[in-house]
Structure 1
Amino acid sequence: MNTPHPIPVDGLVPPPGCPAHGMAQSGLVRLPEITDPARTYEGLRRQYGPVAPVLLHGDIPAWMVLGYRENLEVMRTPKLFSRDSRRWNAFIENRVPAESPLMPMVGWQPLCVFADGAEHARLRGAIVDGLSQFNRRGMRKYVTHYTRQLVAGFAADGTADLVRNYAEPLPMLVVSRLLGMTPDKGPLLVEPTLDLVRGSETAAASNAVVTQVLQELVAYKRTAPGDDLASRLILHSSRLTDTEVIEHLRLTLVAAHQGTVNLIAHTLRLILTDRRFRGNLSGGHMTLPDALEQVMWDNPSIATIPGRWATSDTTIGGQHVRKGDLLMLCIAAANVDPEQRPDLGVPMHGNRSHLALSAGPHECPGGDIGRAIADTGIDELTSILPDMALAVPETEIGITSNWLTTRPDALPVRFTPPRSLGDLHPVNGAPPAAQPLPAAAAQGPLPARPPGAVAARRRSWWRSLLSR
């Protein structure tokens, strides 16, 4: 270690082999209990440099990669830092129980994110080809359709929580349909998917719920394929097994939903609280994509990516990493690395060199889908409710943090209800027809609103479901 007498940092303690490891039993907060991620990351950077020792659930040691250059090195060097979690010392030594909240995220599965080389190329190729069918025009119609449906559920009240009522359900409604699910499934998967990423004690149970829905979807699409991601994966030339199809659908669902929820929530918070951005957006001096890019620098949707596993003993960031050690890629810390951004006050408009979508062979293949959902959704929302304003002081906006992500707790707003709520809602307060809607259909017209649709204060179908 490059620090002879390390001082414990809030939320993190050194792993075995570090002189301060004995302090791990003194009741210090572990990684899952971090309450102030930014402060913790900078404390670690000052103490250890660009790579720091941490403890995960169950006091299992790992390395947190904080530096921008070091993150790129790990991302772009799969021969030294593998994605195959079966290499992990903790797995080999049976130190991770089956019920551990780490398992849904790091337990090996037949997925492209846990593969290297030719196998990675085979699996990733199927995902890339499957996602390529969703063009931006089709995406806009889906997002506009569901944005209007969601707003109709709360607009009459003149108040809403934009996290709970909008940012959380919108991506799931859109992505679940792209996967080929019926309209009733999306709302049921919002909370299990969020819980899965939190690393909570119920993460394994939530993972089982999501997996069960996907198993049923794949079984159905085997007999009735359509123009959706599930069918594309089943029929792809890579000849994926049912298990591989299910796991890649789960990966896409969880990553696209969680990532887009956080992107929408952070961008809405920025627009509502930062006068520079609010004024520029309304005045036309800065585009919404610029605001989204700024958020991807300052508040990446996935703050920490687990992980990479060292294929041999090596040195990175001044730390000696053993073969089989786990490295956590801290994107949030890398994006504000003082070497990369010495002045955090300088806007990053037009600069896409952030690591919010990772880099190298495992760069996120669905980044454009998340951007399209957030861009279109926020644009449509602010058009429908142009006078939205926070209903609480900015200082009262809390931040939800877990071992992988951060986002606003809630965004309570007030606004003038639209004059004609019926014009927002394409269906009479009920879910769309319970049958698959092929992705190709998103490029055609949306269902027409029947006469007398949605009375002024009627709750939407999804809101009623979530309140239950």
Structure 2
Amino acid sequence: MSTPRSDFPSDGSAAVPPPGCPAHNTGAGGLTRLYGPVAEADPRMMYEGLRRQYGSVAPVLLHGDLPAWLVLGHRENLEVMRTPSLFSRDSRLWTMFKQGRVAPDSPLAPMITWQPLCIFVDGDEHARLRTAVNDGLGQFNRHGVRRFVTRYTRQLVDEFEATGEADLVRDYAEKLPMLVMTQLLGMPEENGPLLVEAALDLMKGTETAMASNEFVVETLRKLVKRKTENPGRDLASRLISHESALTEDEVVEHLRLVLIAANETTVNLIANTLRLVLTDRRFRANLSGGQMTLPDALEQVLWDAPPLSVIPGRWATGDTTLGGQPIKAGDLLMLGLAAGNVDPEIRPDLSAPVHGNRSHLSFSSGPHECPGQDIGRAIADTGIDSLLTILPSLDLAVSEGELATTSAWLTQRVNSLPVRFTPRRPATVQEIDVSTPPPKSQPLPAVTSVASPATQLARPPVRRSWWRSLFGRR
């Protein structure tokens, strides 16, 4: 087992776990482990315990008891995000890598091993790759995204509306973002359901995850070849023709990055917002009474339950000080988005509404700020609004206390949302609104008919590291 670096707190103060951090959640030197069942049982309690003990930047241990810094303060997070000259995205700077202390099979390896992607580079190379992604995503207007969301919301609801019950995570939130994203990438309609299943398989880390990843990559390679010959107004075509001159591999890998990352974060945002709407009577009443818009509810969730709780990471380019802590060159810093969003320095009263306030950290900031945040918002608010419009009588089928939340060390969201509603009778021809649906609106094909490797085994309910699926199975 590795030991913490000598200049991490070793004066005896760290030997006593911070308040709220159980003793058996500590590792070498008494430092708190940022992973494992204890840390994931109540992340907010752990963050606040660390904040009381250390302030805005706390020393922690990652998998294998490797030392890192967890940035808890809102201001300190922004400082790290916005200062790439001091805090780089190039993981090759990490002292633990240079010392050979990161095992090849470490759970950290998939998410921090350097790769030629825009999220791992700075400077001119980052500008080249990031500009292509920004321009590709920037061509989509909100109205166009809404049309896709409305189409797929109707198709997904068609699958369960006759029963009067559904699980809004399994039957809706986990499917909608991927279906929309496949259209923005320029994929054929029939690819949508197949990629939904493959992406879910990847996110849950099943035995068929590697086969699912191969299916995703091969589908993207076919898309790139097709769009090279017959370009359209989509992300794939824009990356291929962009002035940044991306190679075919760079196009495929950035399409994969956008597809998987956008899917996971938007699934989390939809699921957590639906939970809020269904369980908080104040929000339900306000939404019905027009005193609070759905974007307001989304903003509240982005503050209180961001799609990503922690982002790894940044690496110090030289010795510096952050939040009163001595940061050495090569140190790893973990961005605590969830912790920064509840920093008492900026939110002394967590019960106060945050309507219209977008200064949260949920989409990061600086050069590596999420390029697809507007698309994610459009998918989430349009999807939830369309769902509530079609099924206005939605009610939880279980008590709020029965809703389980899965907390991985990077993400947190509700596992399922069982609901009941009045089955909607089929619309007559006269009642169908033809103002928004595109020509194609057939029901989604049955996924069980697909000869995809991911469909051979049932998915277990446990969600595993989606970062491993994103970066580790290429």
TM range (shorter): 0.7 to 0.9
Contact 1:211 1:250 (C-alpha < 8 Å) held by counterparts: yes
Residue in 2 aligned with 1:437? none
Structure 2 vs 1, CA of residues 220 and 91 (structure 1 numbering), >3 Å: closer, same or farther?
A: farther
Give the deviation of 1:217 after TM superposition. 2.5
Contact 1:312 1:323 (C-alpha < 8 Å) held by counterparts: yes
| RMSD of Structure 2 on Structure 1 (CA) | 2.9
**Paired letter, 2:316:** A
1:318 lines up with 2:324 in the alignment: yes
Residue in 2 aligned with 1:91? 97
Residue in 2 aligned with 1:180? 186
1:446 lines up with 2:454 in the alignment: no
Give the deviation of 1:365 after TM superposition. 1.2
User: Quick check: 191-200 or 173-182, which moved more?
Assistant: 191-200
Q: Structure 2 matches for 1:193-342, cutoff 5 A? A: 193=199, 207-342=213-348
Residue in 1 aligned with 2:410? 404
Q: Deviations over 1:90-124 (max 9, x none)?
A: 22233334443333322212111111111111111
Q: Deviations over 1:15-57 (max 9, x none)?
A: 6xxx426x98xxx964896221111111211222211222223
Q: Which consecutive unaligned segments of at least 5 residues does structure 2 have? A: 1-7, 459-474
Contact 1:156 1:421 (C-alpha < 8 Å) held by counterparts: no
Residue of 13, 24, 45 corresponding to 1:5: 13
Q: Partner of 1:128: helix, strand, or coil? A: helix
Identity of aligned residues (%): 62
Give the deviation of 1:64 after TM superposition. 1.1
Residue in 2 aligned with 1:345? 351
User: Quick check: 196-205 or 360-369, which moved more?
Assistant: 196-205
Residue of 5, 17, 20 corresponding to 2:30: 20
> Distance between the aligned counterparts of 2:117 and 2:301, measured in 1?
29
Please identify runs of 4+ aligned residues in structure 1 that moved more than 6 A: 198-205, 463-468
Q: Deviations over 1:293-352 (max 9, x none)?
A: 111111111111111011112221222222112111010000000111000000000111
Residue of 420, 429, 444 corresponding to 2:426: 420
Q: Deviations over 1:265-294 (max 9, x none)?
A: 111011000111000101111111110111
Q: Structure 2 matches for 1:37-48, cutoff 5 A? A: 37-48=43-54
Give the deviation of 1:216 after TM superposition. 3.1
> Distance between the aligned counterparts of 2:77 and 2:188, measured in 1?
39
TM-score by length of 2: 0.85
Structure 2 vs 1, CA of residues 150 and 335 (structure 1 numbering), >3 Å: closer, same or farther?
A: same
Q: Which consecutive unaligned segments of at least 5 residues does structure 1 have? A: 427-442
Contact 1:104 1:203 (C-alpha < 8 Å) held by counterparts: no
Structure 2 vs 1, CA of residues 191 and 462 (structure 1 numbering), >3 Å: closer, same or farther?
A: closer
TM-score by length of 1: 0.86
Residue in 2 aligned with 1:82? 88
Contact 1:70 1:317 (C-alpha < 8 Å) held by counterparts: yes
> Distance between the aligned counterparts of 2:335 and 2:64, measured in 1?
19
Residue of 373, 395, 403 corresponding to 2:401: 395
Give the deviation of 1:197 after TM superposition. 5.8
Q: Partner of 1:34: helix, strand, or coil? A: helix
Structure 2 vs 1, CA of residues 33 and 194 (structure 1 numbering), >3 Å: closer, same or farther?
A: farther
Q: Deviations over 1:104-157 (max 9, x none)?
A: 322212111111111111111101110111111111110000000000001111
Structure 2 vs 1, CA of residues 463 and 165 (structure 1 numbering), >3 Å: closer, same or farther?
A: farther
Contact 1:81 1:309 (C-alpha < 8 Å) held by counterparts: yes
Structure 2 vs 1, CA of residues 369 and 223 (structure 1 numbering), >3 Å: closer, same or farther?
A: same
Q: Structure 2 matches for 1:51-70, cutoff 5 A? A: 51-70=57-76
Residue in 2 aligned with 1:434? none
Give the deviation of 1:183 after TM superposition. 2.8
Q: Structure 2 matches for 1:23-172, cutoff 5 A? A: 30=36, 34-172=40-178
Contact 1:14 1:61 (C-alpha < 8 Å) held by counterparts: no
> Distance between the aligned counterparts of 2:340 and 2:237, measured in 1?
37
**Paired letter, 1:43:** G
Structure 2 vs 1, CA of residues 51 and 239 (structure 1 numbering), >3 Å: closer, same or farther?
A: same
Residue in 2 aligned with 1:461? 446
Structure 2 vs 1, CA of residues 95 and 208 (structure 1 numbering), >3 Å: closer, same or farther?
A: farther
Contact 1:269 1:411 (C-alpha < 8 Å) held by counterparts: yes
Contact 2:150 2:437 (C-alpha < 8 Å) held by counterparts: no
Q: Partner of 1:58: helix, strand, or coil? A: coil
Q: Deviations over 1:391-450 (max 9, x none)?
A: 000011110111211000100000001111688xx9xxxxxxxxxxxxxxxx9851255x
User: Quick check: 153-162 or 40-49, which moved more?
Assistant: 40-49
Give the deviation of 1:211 after TM superposition. 3.1
> Distance between the aligned counterparts of 2:445 and 2:228, measured in 1?
32
Contact 1:31 1:56 (C-alpha < 8 Å) held by counterparts: no
Q: Partner of 2:166: helix, strand, or coil? A: strand
> Distance between the aligned counterparts of 1:159 and 1:421, measured in 2?
19
Q: Partner of 1:417: helix, strand, or coil? A: coil
Structure 2 vs 1, CA of residues 31 and 61 (structure 1 numbering), >3 Å: closer, same or farther?
A: farther
Q: Deviations over 1:42-89 (max 9, x none)?
A: 121122221122222333222211111110110011011001111122
